[in-house]
Structure 1
Amino acid sequence: MLKGKTILLGITGGIAAYKAAALCSKLVQAGADVRVIMTESATKFVAPLTLQTLSRHPVYTDTFDEKDPSVVSHIDLADSADLVVIAPATANIIAKLAYGLADDMLSTTLLATTAPILVAPAMNVHMYEHPAVIHNMKLIASRGVRFVEPGTGQLACGYVGKGRLAEPEEIVVAIEHFFAQRKVMAGKKVLVTAGGTVERVDPVRYLTNDSSGKMGFAIAEAARDMGAQVTVIAARAFALPPSGVTVVRVESAEEMLQAVTDRFESSDVVIKSAAVADYRPVIKLDQKLKKTGDKLVLELEKTTDILESLGRVKSTQFLVGFAAETQQVEYYAMDKLRRKNCDLIVANDVAQEGAGFHGDTNIVQIFDQNGLAASWPLLSKNEVAVRLMSLIAERLETRPEVERQ
């Protein structure tokens, strides 16, 4: 699983740094090419020579100690990594990662890399539970950073509680799982819609909704990380789309319909997470509508239901819809799934705290033809996206052969 993979191992200054030596050894034995960066504090616990011997590469500790004049070390390391693993990760490096600080070799390299990052925290139980640390972990999780949860037990400080670094074997399993996930959608074409459509009243006014695009972009990122070829049809959004995907910008429901229809036949999976307007103005004015009285009446007409249109013509495509509700979530989700011939519906109650449009978290229930298929608690949208894509991959794998053709 790890053969030929380049793993950048960041080691920070905690007593658990000694476990990083065993982790490095196990990764090398599994076939990985391991490059090590140690903070100055980490070198107080474990000698760089130990990691150099185990990894068979120079260990980097100083941003200005350039070992190869042909490259800039922190850029070269950042670019070469298939995965960055920080183990142990102290509260300090988590804070630096959260706020973009770059005052040593490791934090500078973390800012330069576009590779996925896996963090294995290790610290005193009270530090781990401190509101600032919790906030920082949530913040970097919302950006796609993954975690290996610390264990509970006797800590070096004498306390018993959560904060002990996961065992090297557990971290290796998490790394193998990460790379295994990257293959489950290989060869699949995934089409995702994101954001909220805009229906123009005049050149300066429009009807829209609260969709931020964060959920759709998180799904696109998860699909990309699992090996899929991803296209995102993006309407108005308040987030940046992930790198490594094709982005098609649209504004109105009609433009989104056309963009999706053009690409539907060649897609294997279509995930309609965009919030598409149900109605648009009958007349779109070319000039700004002037104020003329105490009341204004706009005549609206129904837009084409994109999800329903796709459901009528789908053949082998796996079709996923979204249902943002404020009441009777299961009833409306199941009704939508059946009427629009979806394979899955991702439903949430947007009135719940943490499940709204603009936040970085979501609380969702997944429905299929048999009813509730999964129910997930408050999670980051990135984690929801990973779980959703994993579920879709499982369903694709178990579909009858006739449905795949």
Structure 2
Amino acid sequence: MTSIEYISKSKEHKQLLMHPLIASFLSLKWNRLVLFFYINFLLCTLFAVTTVTYILVYYNHQGSSTLKDLLRVAMFILTIYIAAREMFQFTFSPCTYLKGLENYLECTLVVLVMLILFDVCPISYRRTFGSLSILFIAIEIFLLAGSLPFWSFSTHYVMLRTVTYSFLKSLSLYAIILLAFALSFFTLLHEPTEEETDGSKSGDDNGDEDDGDFNKFSNLGLSIMKTLVMSTGEFDVASIDFKANAFSYVVFMMFLFLVTIILLNLLNGLAVSDTQAIKSEAELTNFIRRAQVLARYECVLATSYSTVFKILPFCHEFDTFDETKPIYNIRIKPNDNNQILIPDTNNTNDEVNQTDDNLRPLLCFHRLCCNRCTHMDSKIVKLAFQCLEKTAREQHEENEKEKHNERLTRMEETLETIVDKLNDILNK
């Protein structure tokens, strides 16, 4: 998968993933490793459910002690699994592990969950750690779900990642304008807050005064926050005291025109263009995402290749792609539901293996529930037919060109012969 992973990351070569040879290899590889992916996805989902449930029950003081104990035990076991998985990945491929931002998120999540589980975090930070854990868990499940091979999950994942990157890259420049308006509003509309002198004010009054501080740009931090909220179209103009400075009307109209109308529509246009570009390459995006996921899984599993297959007896058919037993070709039967046939490994005669009598269906653990591995994806078969048709068409065009060139050559030779004879007649 190393070379294919490189192709998937190259803008010039990523189109090669659509070639039936690479696409069929990715399909077979995915069917071989999908068991590990689904087991990991299931355990991570259970980890997310138990952890979020425990945080909600623990911090809201709900549920019985028995439920809390069961959640704590399940949460501890699943956390050990996540930690062991991360240690396993780091042990076998430390350089690759340190390059992935997702790995740092998972390590941080393990630390936060451990602090919550053993209740060693400070009281003032418990709810903060619980909130961060829920957010990190959601990101982890989203990243895993973005690798699922159905419902275009991978396409939606790439769309969100691409649009987010475009927004952040654009805002790195446009933030100068937003900061300038925030400072302008702070300078024009700033009203310093007065300390409370009457201690008998109700909580509602305090809440109203907090809202007033937010709308009156009482400090620099609130001014920046208020400007960001206003940039989304939420102005709450009635609560802003423009009478404090008449020039504030001009600044607000400039903000309304430059930021709310132009900048916001510009960012939306960038998002739409990125989304359309990704949708137009949805199939390629799926292959790219699959190649990256397979490369990550293979990097870890390849180091314990022989051990895994000894432990899992139902995966003995994985031996067909072992380097000690090379298979140089597979057969696909388009008229037989795209069935995949491979040479019988008991016969070493390559010439004999080319006949259908010495071929057998490709098998794996999917045969327990379906025939997924024994049939090639119809989309890949369609791509193969398109390549064959293109090759045949190009070969036909090349043959036609050669025939035309031969005819032109013969015509030139004939014309030269006629000219020579005419010259001889004229000379006589």
TM-score by length of 2: 0.25
- Higher share in helix: 2
The structure whose Rg is larger is 2
TM-score by length of 1: 0.26
- Higher share in strand: 1
Q: Point out which structure has higher relative CO (alpha carbons under 8 A, 6+ apart).
A: 2
